[in-house]
Structure 1
Amino acid sequence: MQAQKPAIIALDTGTTSMRAVVFDDSGQVRHIARRDNPPHYHADGRVEQNPESWKRCLFELLSEAREWSEAGHMRAAALSLTSQRSSVIPLDREGRPLHDAIMWQDIRTDPLCAGMKQVEPEIYRRSGLRLTSVFSAIKMLWFKTERPDIYQKTWKMAGIQDYLIYLLTGRLITDRSLASRTTLLDLDRREWSNELIALYGLDAHLLCELIDPGSVAGTLSREAAEACGLPAGLPVISAGGDQQCAALGLGLLSTDTIVVNTGTGAYAIGLSDRPVHDARMRIYCNVSAIPSLYITEAPMLTAGVLYRWFRDQFYPPTGPHEVPFAQINRDIAESPPGAHGVILLPHFKGAAAPFWNPRAKGHFLNLDLATTRADMARAVLEGIALELAENVALLEETGRPARRLLVSGGLTALDEFVQICADCFERPVEKSRDCEATALGAWISAAVATGLYGSFEEAYAQAVDGAETTIVAPDSGRSAVYRSLQMTRQRLYRALADTAV
């Protein structure tokens, strides 16, 4: 009988899908199970999701991962969870959702944010986060003010990862990397802040118990084991938030590295050994997936979702066998750098870093009768990359110059986008070897937590051992085009913002 090799199953819950990735003990992907699971976008800016959809996907994915592992002569040794951050699910004492999850992109709380604007500097000073509708605390306050019936019945205000861990272990906890996305965690003490809780007028007992990222949150319960076929007692690790894990999986292990990760939105992320506070509140600072460290983030709200939106609106399918994105990708290569002057401001859900303007709108500018959809398609990618270039510069301004720039995520599957990034950043970029950086970060976390490797550095080195590195150098001529385009788009943004367009 062939011996079974140990496997770690990383569960990665994104905004529009959920994946179970089976890793072997050297950090290599052996199988990926995926379920599409997008939220519901309401016309009034609300974004919600039924928590039952995550529960269904969770056990379907674990069952598939188990079946594949058994067929491949592997046995699950641990489960490691990472997920999107800052969504809120009110749970009753039996752990049942009392309302659909209010998702991170939901903007129903904008009026509440406006009413608390005078205390934003204090929130930022303590938590490292601005007061926006993205984060969890203001969503909790919405339940208190708008749905007091639900607030009074709530036992705990949980995030998505907290809820999934509860389903697997029966224990309701949150790790500090996730807690640092609520605006309720004191970043210096890494504990819930009584001052911030009082400032929001919330009740401290509604918050989950804190553990460090990379900790064993519990073990697989008998009920969960029966639902997916895995053995009860498996360790379940809370690896950290998705961007923290993506940064770890990309190799963000030193303070002279910056990673750019694209998904629904996009993030420029740096690493620090201390909390970082910008006097102009232009960046975020959170607890890293490496428990003793911090990450700095400069986010943008729409990246991959914007590219998909443009494809859906301007590239209707021509047949049942059409390859997704094939035509738009061909068109992008046909339009020259600068897209014949077409400029996109990618603020289709408001502007995050560096502008922080929730009222900002997306704009195509400089269109004329010679403009083609290929020019507009290219302008979408250039608009995303130019905003990311500003955010990379912002992290360097508030931290230290980057010796190494890494790019990852869905958009980097398109080689032209990686080249555009190098040209806009005006320096070489290193492309991730695959698009599963978030799941790899969760594997690294679990590999250290379970003693498979002695350090994050050792686990990462093993996972990437022998992997080819793709380094894309900037083209000086193209960089000159984008440098001029960057100055133009900054003037256009200011003009539109000043006139409230």
Structure 2
Amino acid sequence: MEGDGTAWLGIDLGTQGVRALLVTGDGTVLGAGAAPLGGRRAGVRHEQDPARWWDAVCDASRAALTGRPPARIGGLAVCATSGTVLLTDGSGRPLTPGLMYDDGRAAAQAGRAREAGLRVQNGWGLPKAMWLVEEYGPARLAHQADVIVTHLVGHPAPTDSGHALKTAYDLEHDTWPYAALAGLGLTGDLLPEVVRPGSALGTVHAEAAERTGIPAGTPVIAGTTDGCAAQIASGALREGSWNTVLGTTLVLKGVAAHPVRDDSGVVYNHRAPEGGWLPGGASGVGAGALRAAFPDAGPAALDRAAAAHEPASVLAYPLVSPGERFPFLAPDAVPLVLGTPASDADLWAALLQGVGFVERLCLDYLHHLGAPVEGPLTLTGGAARSPYWNQLRADILGRPARVPEQTETALGMAVLAAYGTGGAATLADAAAHMVRVRTVLTPRPARTARFAEPYARLVGVLEERGWLPASVGAHARARLDLDTAGS
């Protein structure tokens, strides 16, 4: 992979924008580009214009490739937000807005899907696909990344199993549950073919090359969800290792030899490109709550001020929007700030700490289910650019954490593209060459002890509101005095 002048392009469609990275086989970033995205929010509604997705990909890709050292692009892959769906015609042209991962209009449809025997959450792609078919009429189901792939290769291509999971694709048996879906209004002719991440989908055609700057003929490899992409970007690809991607919201995924069973449906299992399992879940808390509370703030200055508030005088459960999916399922959950903050710095500290508490509760819940959590923890996503927040999270968790040199989710797609085009024998080999660890964080025991009481108090509040099952709360409290990395 190293020294032959080849680089791979990773493209990440996030909630707030698109990122593109051009990366060599030894992890050197040759180029980076970004373009903003906006959406329409009103109550539980959150949608985006699919045409803007493609425009933003073109802008970000061209920025990543313009004025950079010459390199042969060996391939590219695309990731996108998990659970974002739309309807298209037979040629792949969007017919509806894209209903984003946290759009909440399909609760009734989710209930019907569960009655039909399908294990889905309200915000997953299947209920929203049902809502779209009922609102706009029958048409072909597509995921956010599928729109970009169609533009790149010039025709509809199979979707990847990562995105298909939340539209009820059965990863253990590699099939759609056709009979159940037909009863819900999604007949077989509306469902895309599904392939594993890392599969070849086609090559960039001439018109897309002109728009994006990506050379015509560049192989396009099936990507995966943003959460799985972040896990690849973290290098956390050995059994027992975990990665937290913290951006607008928080996603935690690990590696297991077998699926982690969860009757509540909070934890779900993606399939790794080479066949293993990637259990995890997606929470509604994250940096989006900071932006909402402090839209014009300078994060670095507030981080410095927050250091004087450990712990903060108030407790926060910093949901970005109503409803929670992990570490518990509570459609009625709302953002919480319990108490009156003494200052902006105190509130900022409470929000940062709140995300750390949720991250710890996620790991406690996974341990409660019997998931292997003893391996290394890696922090990625846009929020991992904050040294203060990284150390704070390590302190709250009471376990070491690694921060890669490149925290962008798009790196995971460059790694997957290298693997999918034969640039490495295994995905882990590709990651070993392309992912560089920048920092290893060591928790400070005195700080960990300082955060134990507010963590336990927040767990109690979640139980009192009926959101967190008592058995999970008891398990979390029992682990307060234990080594959470392996106990």
**TM-score, shorter chain, exceeding 0.5:** yes
Residues 100-136 of structure 1: per-residue CA shift (max 9 Å, x gap) = 11111100112333455545xx323xxxxxx223211
- Who is 2:24 aligned against? 24
Q: Is 1:390 aligned to residue 361 of structure 2? A: yes
- Who is 1:151 aligned against? 137
TM-score, with normalisation over the residues of structure 2? 0.89
Residues 361-420 of structure 1: per-residue CA shift (max 9 Å, x gap) = 11111337xx22211110101111101101012223331232211112222222221222
Question: Hey, what's the Cα distance between the residues in 1 that align with 2:60 and 2:392?
Answer: 36
Q: Residue 275 of structure 1: SS of its match in structure 2? A: coil
- Who is 2:280 aligned against? 297
Residues 413-432 of structure 1: per-residue CA shift (max 9 Å, x gap) = 22221222112211212222
Question: Hey, what's the Cα distance between the residues in 1 that align with 2:375 and 2:74?
Answer: 37
Which aligned pairs between 1:34-53 and structure 2 lie closer than 5 A? 34-42=34-42, 44-53=43-52
Q: Which amino acid aligns with 1:447?
A: A
Contact preservation (8 Å) 1:83, 1:240? yes
Residues 297-316 of structure 1: per-residue CA shift (max 9 Å, x gap) = 1321120101111222xxx5
1:64 Cα offset (Å): 3.0
Contact preservation (8 Å) 1:66, 1:76? no
Unaligned runs of 5+ in 2: 468-487
Q: Residue 334 of structure 1: SS of its match in structure 2? A: coil
- Who is 2:448 aligned against? 479
1:65 Cα offset (Å): 3.2
- Who is 1:332 aligned against? 306
Question: Hey, what's the Cα distance between the residues in 1 that align with 2:284 and 2:183?
Answer: 27
Q: Is 1:55 aligned to residue 48 of structure 2? A: no
- Who is 1:142 aligned against? 131
Question: Hey, what's the Cα distance between the residues in 2 that align with 1:6 and 1:355?
Answer: 44
Q: 1:113 aligns with which of 99, 107, 110?
A: 110
1:355 Cα offset (Å): 2.2
Residues 72-108 of structure 1: per-residue CA shift (max 9 Å, x gap) = 1223232221222221121112322111111111001
Which aligned pairs between 1:266-277 and structure 2 lie closer than 5 A? 266-277=250-261
Which aligned pairs between 1:317-356 and structure 2 lie closer than 5 A? 324-335=298-309, 337-340=310-313, 342-347=314-319, 348-356=321-329
Q: Residue 277 of structure 1: SS of its match in structure 2? A: coil
Question: Hey, what's the Cα distance between the residues in 1 that align with 2:379 and 2:86?
Answer: 32
Runs of 4+, deviation exceeding 6 Å? none
Question: Hey, what's the Cα distance between the residues in 2 that align with 1:208 and 1:279?
Answer: 28
Contact preservation (8 Å) 2:234, 2:407? no
Q: Aligned residue pairs: how many?
A: 462
> Against the structure 1 CA distance between its residues 171 and 291, is the aligned structure 2 distance closer, same or farther, given a 3 Å change threshold?
farther
Q: Is 1:103 aligned to residue 110 of structure 2? A: no
> Against the structure 1 CA distance between its residues 442 and 468, is the aligned structure 2 distance closer, same or farther, given a 3 Å change threshold?
closer
Which aligned pairs between 1:56-135 and structure 2 lie closer than 5 A? 56-69=55-68, 72-119=69-116, 122-124=117-119, 131-135=120-124
> Against the structure 1 CA distance between its residues 229 and 440, is the aligned structure 2 distance closer, same or farther, given a 3 Å change threshold?
closer
Q: Is 1:251 aligned to residue 235 of structure 2? A: yes
Which aligned pairs between 1:398-477 and structure 2 lie closer than 5 A? 398=369, 399-436=371-408, 438-464=409-435, 467=436, 469-477=438-446
Question: Hey, what's the Cα distance between the residues in 2 that align with 1:53 and 1:468?
Answer: 34
Which aligned pairs between 1:209-288 and structure 2 lie closer than 5 A? 209-288=193-272
> Against the structure 1 CA distance between its residues 180 and 291, is the aligned structure 2 distance closer, same or farther, given a 3 Å change threshold?
farther
Question: Hey, what's the Cα distance between the residues in 1 that align with 2:437 and 2:276?
Answer: 28
Residues 428-452 of structure 1: per-residue CA shift (max 9 Å, x gap) = 122222322x222211211122222
- Who is 1:307 aligned against? 290
Q: Report percent identity of matched pairs.
A: 25
Question: Hey, what's the Cα distance between the residues in 2 that align with 1:226 and 1:434?
Answer: 28
Q: Which amino acid aligns with 1:33?
A: G
Question: Hey, what's the Cα distance between the residues in 2 that align with 1:426 and 1:404?
Answer: 13
Q: Residue 479 of structure 1: SS of its match in structure 2? A: helix
TM-score, with normalisation over the residues of structure 1? 0.87
Question: Hey, what's the Cα distance between the residues in 2 that align with 1:375 and 1:280?
Answer: 35
Question: Hey, what's the Cα distance between the residues in 2 that align with 1:137 and 1:207?
Answer: 11
Unaligned runs of 5+ in 1: 125-130, 318-323
Q: Which amino acid aligns with 2:365?
A: L
Q: Which amino acid aligns with 1:294?
A: W
Residues 201-236 of structure 1: per-residue CA shift (max 9 Å, x gap) = 321111111112101111112222233344322211
Q: Which amino acid aligns with 2:395?
A: D
1:199 Cα offset (Å): 4.8
Which aligned pairs between 1:370-381 and structure 2 lie closer than 5 A? 371-381=342-352
CA RMSD of aligned residues (A): 2.1
Q: Residue 386 of structure 1: SS of its match in structure 2? A: helix
**Bigger mean CA deviation after superposition, 215-224 or 395-404:** 395-404
> Against the structure 1 CA distance between its residues 355 and 170, is the aligned structure 2 distance closer, same or farther, given a 3 Å change threshold?
same
Q: Which amino acid aligns with 2:338?
A: L
Question: Hey, what's the Cα distance between the residues in 1 that align with 2:343 and 2:62?
Answer: 47
- Who is 1:197 aligned against? 181
Q: Which amino acid aligns with 1:296?
A: P
Question: Hey, what's the Cα distance between the residues in 2 that align with 1:60 and 1:410?
Answer: 20
> Against the structure 1 CA distance between its residues 143 and 476, is the aligned structure 2 distance closer, same or farther, given a 3 Å change threshold?
same
Q: Is 1:364 aligned to residue 337 of structure 2? A: yes
Question: Hey, what's the Cα distance between the residues in 1 that align with 2:274 and 2:160?
Answer: 10
Q: Which amino acid aligns with 1:472?
A: L
> Against the structure 1 CA distance between its residues 64 and 419, is the aligned structure 2 distance closer, same or farther, given a 3 Å change threshold?
closer
1:493 Cα offset (Å): 2.0
> Against the structure 1 CA distance between its residues 255 and 397, is the aligned structure 2 distance closer, same or farther, given a 3 Å change threshold?
farther
> Against the structure 1 CA distance between its residues 291 and 15, is the aligned structure 2 distance closer, same or farther, given a 3 Å change threshold?
farther
